[in-house]
């Protein structure tokens, strides 16, 4: 547990970077500090490892004031990742990662072996990458080395200051996914600073939104932050599209999928037309013998064909993006539906077999039910915030 107890940072010119901060960061969680430039989030991060000293208040690590710790020893026990990576240009990748273990007394061979283990953990191939130098790496690779180096001494706490902001959006998304995967295996206490609310919502277990002047506006789960902003400042900061983004936290398994409009390719056109009209569906999903989707058949078009012909020979519209109800979110289901020319999407299992189809109407009902359930869970007695 990291605790900020009435912490203020005031500089000699009178500038207040952090103002009376009270914040608890639970063990084994990712806490993201987010806010506009100059709001004190980086200053807050750096007070944990004493790169910045508070003017008032205390920063506690597992109940002990960090001000009582030797700064060098404290920092060796806390992983630290920064935007520019801070790699030593004259050292190889494995020796960059092995730096802290060697400083703490491990033999070079053991430290390098540990470095290669960590390279595999963060997605770098040791045989091809270990002996390279930082200038021979891409930005994303350098950032992975920075994360591996921060983990080298197996610290319980990992501080990350804008770790992915210097790479392109595709690499950034991949690194975010890598962090989420690492955390699922390692369960570190992670404090991450970003100015990007999308990143905060994606990677954070908890998000702390800062106001200008270093004051805390709201601390909550990402889903709660999107669903119940504390005030207009937070509402504006998280964005007008927060309702759509909130759907990422609702499982698509809640969708009531239609199955009566899913037909085998061997179905005759006459039977297919009857099914479509009975179900009130302008589109029918055609599946093969393995129950994998082949395409969409328009009921109106089927009426011009021979009644005894089958759907196997019909002109089918593309299936489009599918989604997996057990694994994907309602946002993924909505995206698939929006991108489909039929305004419908296909739910499949892990093997790609069709479970059913959805539509805007079915999505609307599922979204309303999910939002109501989330609101009841957050406020079970109806008292509000």
The reply to whether 270 and 122 lie within a common domain is no
- What is the pLDDT, as a whole number, of residue 168? 80
d(CA 57, CA 46): 15
The reply to whether 118 and 217 lie within a common domain is yes
CATH number at residue 282: 3.10.580.10
Per-residue pLDDT of the chain (385 residues; tens, 9 = 90+): 999 999 999 999 989 999 999 999 999 999 999 998 889 999 999 999 999 999 999 999 999 999 999 998 898 889 888 876 678 889 999 999 988 888 878 888 888 888 898 888 888 889 999 999 988 988 888 888 888 888 887 889 999 998 887 778 888 888 888 889 889 988 999 999 998 888 999 999 999 999 998 999 999 999 889 888 999 999 999 887 888 888 888 999 989 999 999 999 999 999 999 999 999 999 999 999 999 999 999 999 999 889 999 999 999 999 999 999 999 999 999 999 999 999 999 999 999 999 999 999 999 999 989 888 877 776 655 444 3
**Host domain of residue 357:** 253-368
Say what the pTM is. 0.78
Q: Which parts of the chain fold into alpha helices (H)? A: 41-48, 71-76, 93-97, 99-103, 108-121, 126-129, 139-151, 169-186, 197-203, 222-227, 232-238, 242-246, 269-279, 299-302, 330-339, 360-378
Q: Provide the β-strand partners of residue 193.
A: 33, 161
Sign of the alpha-carbon torsion through 5, 6, 11, 15: positive
The reply to whether 122 and 72 lie within a common domain is yes
The reply to whether 329 and 190 lie within a common domain is no
d(CA 104, CA 200): 33
The reply to whether 290 and 176 lie within a common domain is no
The reply to whether 317 and 222 lie within a common domain is no
Q: Which of 194, 215, 249 is the last residue of a domain?
A: 249
The reply to whether 272 and 189 lie within a common domain is no
The reply to whether 84 and 134 lie within a common domain is yes
- What is the pLDDT, as a whole number, of residue 378? 65
CA dihedral 368, 374, 377, 380 (to 10 degrees): -50
What is the distance between the terminal CA atoms of the chain, rounded to a whole angstrom? Answer: 25
Q: Which of 223, 249, 275 is the last residue of a domain?
A: 249
In 3D space, the residue among 75, 109, 79 whose CA is nearest the CA of residue 95 turns out to be: 109
Q: Which of 203, 231, 249 is the last residue of a domain?
A: 249
Residue 85 is given by DSSP the state: -
Query: How many structural domains is the chain composed of?
Result: 2
Q: What are phi and psi of 247, to 5 degrees?
A: -65, -20
Q: Which two tokens stand for residue 338?
A: 């929006």
The reply to whether 189 and 129 lie within a common domain is yes
User: 362: helix, coil or strand?
Assistant: helix
Residue 46 is given by DSSP the state: H
Are 339 and 312 contacting, i.e. CB atoms less than 8 angstroms apart? no
Q: Provide the β-strand partners of residue 347.
A: 323, 356
Q: Which two tokens stand for residue 372?
A: 């109501």
Residue 56 is given by DSSP the state: E
Are 161 and 82 contacting, i.e. CB atoms less than 8 angstroms apart? yes
């Amino acid at each position: 547990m990291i605790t900020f107890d009435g912490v203020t940072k005031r500089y000699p010119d009178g500038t207040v970077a952090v103002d009376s901060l009270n914040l608890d960061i639970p063990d084994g969680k990712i806490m993201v500090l987010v806010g506009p430039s100059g709001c004190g989030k980086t200053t807050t991060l750096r007070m944990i490892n004493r790169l910045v000293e508070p003017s008032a208040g205390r920063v506690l690590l597992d109940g002990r004031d960090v001000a009582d710790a030797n700064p060098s020893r404290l920092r060796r026990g806390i992983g630290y990742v920064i935007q520019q990576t801070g790699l030593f240009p004259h050292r190889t990748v494995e020796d960059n990662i092995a730096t802290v273990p060697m400083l703490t007394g491990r033999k070079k061979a053991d430290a390098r072996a540990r470095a290669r283990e960590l390279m595999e953990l963060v997605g770098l191939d040791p045989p091809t990458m270990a002996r390279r130098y930082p200038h021979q790496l891409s930005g994303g690779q350098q950032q992975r080395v920075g994360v591996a180096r921060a983990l080298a001494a197996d610290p319980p706490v990992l501080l990350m200051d804008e770790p992915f902001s210097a790479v392109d959006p595709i690499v950034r998304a991949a690194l975010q996914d890598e962090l989420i995967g690492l955390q699922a295996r390692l369960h570190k206490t992670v404090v991450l600073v970003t100015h990007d609310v999308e990143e905060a919502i994606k990677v954070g277990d908890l998000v702390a939104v800062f106001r200008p002047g270093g004051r805390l506006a709201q601390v909550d789960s990402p889903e709660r932050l999107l669903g119940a902003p504390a005030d207009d400042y937070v509402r504006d900061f998280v964005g007008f599209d927060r309702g759509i983004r909130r759907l990422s936290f609702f499982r698509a398994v809640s969708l009531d999928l239609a199955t009566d409009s899913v037909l085998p390719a061997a179905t005759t056109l006459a039977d297919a037309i009857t099914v479509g009209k009975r179900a009130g569906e302008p589109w029918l999903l055609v599946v093969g013998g393995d129950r994998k989707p082949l395409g969409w058949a328009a009921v109106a078009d089927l009426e011009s064909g021979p009644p005894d012909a089958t759907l196997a020979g019909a002109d089918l519209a593309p299936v489009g993006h599918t989604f997996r109800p057990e694994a994907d979110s309602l946002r993924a289901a909505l995206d698939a539906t929006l991108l489909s020319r039929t305004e419908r999407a296909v739910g499949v299992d892990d093997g790609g077999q069709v479970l059913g189809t959805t539509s805007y109407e079915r999505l609307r009902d599922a979204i309303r039910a999910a939002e109501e359930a989330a609101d009841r869970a957050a406020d079970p007695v109806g008292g509000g915030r």
